[in-house]
């Protein structure tokens, strides 16, 4: 498998290929991280707060990428997975207590990381374009990683999953944390670069460059679908 040289870190300079991934569709799950109305929609949550604070302009490129790139490509992946009988799973930030007391420290600090999104609120819902089906697994988390403090890993093992295709936001925080922990837990990971986003492209590209080859294979949507088409 050829390596996208855009995402090659110091450790792997000079490498142009890695061994092909050994995939089975029945053992591969799609994971969509934090694509929630709180973080994506422009009529509530983070965007509205930025607008009210006079900081809207800085966030427009990020939201444009979500609308024009991330959501359409994630829809393509969801469609492929559903058409091939593969698991579609979701991880979302949602505290169980209304006052947010159950949040991990990383989500209850000051500034942008003071994330208070209770279960059952509109803001906690996935965006309409990527809405889960009734039979999809949706994990509520109060940490950055989908598999810390949740039963997500156990559910994957129960279903015989050994490969996770990771998408969502933000690349340098919850996506990166989830990729690293799942890789440490023994899962094979694909991180789909054009199904992820960070507030600016520098953060996005830097994190993918760090994770590629070591923790995951960074692929595009087209590349991911092609790899899965050739899987057993």
What is the per-residue pLDDT across 136-176, written as a single tens digit (0 to 9) for each?
999 999 999 999 989 999 999 999 999 999 999 999 999 99
- Counted domains in the chain: 1
H or E stretch covering 35: none
Going 116 to 139 to 104 to 70, the CA torsion angle's sign is negative
> What is the domain extent for residue 40?
5-229
- Beta-bridge partner residues of 191: 166, 218
Q: What is the pLDDT of residue 48?
A: 83
What is the per-residue pLDDT across 59-69, written as a single tens digit (0 to 9) for each?
999 999 999 99
- Structure confidence at residue 108 as a pLDDT band (50, 70, 90): confident
Mean of the per-residue pLDDT values for the chain?
Answer: 95
Q: What is the CATH number of the domain that holds 59?
A: 3.40.50.850
């Amino acid at each position: 498998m050829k390596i996208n040289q855009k995402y090659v870190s110091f450790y792997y300079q000079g490498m142009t290929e890695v061994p092909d991934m050994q995939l089975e569709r029945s053992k591969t799950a799609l994971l969509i991280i934090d694509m929630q109305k709180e973080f994506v929609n422009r009529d509530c949550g983070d965007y509205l707060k930025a607008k009210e604070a006079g900081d809207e302009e800085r966030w427009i490129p990020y939201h444009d990428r979500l609308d024009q790139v991330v959501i359409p490509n994630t829809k393509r992946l969801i469609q492929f997975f559903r058409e091939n009988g593969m698991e579609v799973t979701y991880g979302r930030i949602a505290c169980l207590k209304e006052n947010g007391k159950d949040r991990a420290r990383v989500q209850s600090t000051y500034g942008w990381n003071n994330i208070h999104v209770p279960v059952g609120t509109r803001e906690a819902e996935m965006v309409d374009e990527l809405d889960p089906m009734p039979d999809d697994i949706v994990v509520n988390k109060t940490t950055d990683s989908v598999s810390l403090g949740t039963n997500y890993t156990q559910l994957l093992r129960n279903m015989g999953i050994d490969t996770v295709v990771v998408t969502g936001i933000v690349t340098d925080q919850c996506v990166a944390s989830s990729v690293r922990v799942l890789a440490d837990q023994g899962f094979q990971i694909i991180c789909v670069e054009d199904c992820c986003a960070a507030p600016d492209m520098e953060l996005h590209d830097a994190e993918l460059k760090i994770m590629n080859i070591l923790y995951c294979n960074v692929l595009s949507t087209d590349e991911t679908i092609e790899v899965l088409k050739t899987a057993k």
